[in-house]
Amino acid sequence: MTIEKIVLESFSKQGFMKHLGAKIISIDEGLVKVSCIKSDNLTQQNGFFHAGVITTIADAACGYAALTTMPIGSDVLSIEFKTNLMKPAISENLIAIGKVIKSGRTLVFCEAKIMDEKEETIFATFQGTMICKQPT
């Protein structure tokens, strides 16, 4: 199975991604993009994308970016992440670009930018550590 298929299969098992309407829009080694279309289901009290949505798609993008660097058959779990919210996320389509910064045997450190659909404005940044659950 190609790494693309592995990522898509795991992603499809995340009920929460479906519930958000989130989609993987690209998969490269160490670099995954996830997007999410604007909807009244995803807002905070002012009608912007909720910080929870921003963080969720960033976590998914980073988790799967990490998975592309792990041995086939591994599973990936987040152990910690931080989000810095810089401006209201007003966009028709939110994009999280997750990138592996350092891939170790056990831990993979990733960063994401969360941007508008043109990838011009950064709404938030995200940094997280992912752990590799090796195939048994």
> Rule CB under 8 A: which residues touch its own copies?
10-11, 13-16, 18-19, 39-46, 50-53, 55-57, 59-60, 75, 77-87, 101-102, 106-107, 109, 111, 122, 125, 127, 129, 131
Distance of closest approach, residue 66 Cβ to its own copies, in angstroms: 13
Distance of closest approach, residue 124 Cβ to its own copies, in angstroms: 9
Nearer to its own copies, 19 or 118 (CB): 19
Contact between 69 and 124 under an 8 Å Cβ cutoff? The reply is: no
Distance of closest approach, residue 27 Cβ to its own copies, in angstroms: 15
Nearer to its own copies, 15 or 71 (CB): 15
User: How many residues can be counted in the chain?
Assistant: 136
Distance of closest approach, residue 28 Cβ to its own copies, in angstroms: 20
Distance (Å, rounded) from C-alpha 91 to C-alpha 43?
11
Nearer to its own copies, 117 or 128 (CB): 128
Nearer to its own copies, 93 or 127 (CB): 127
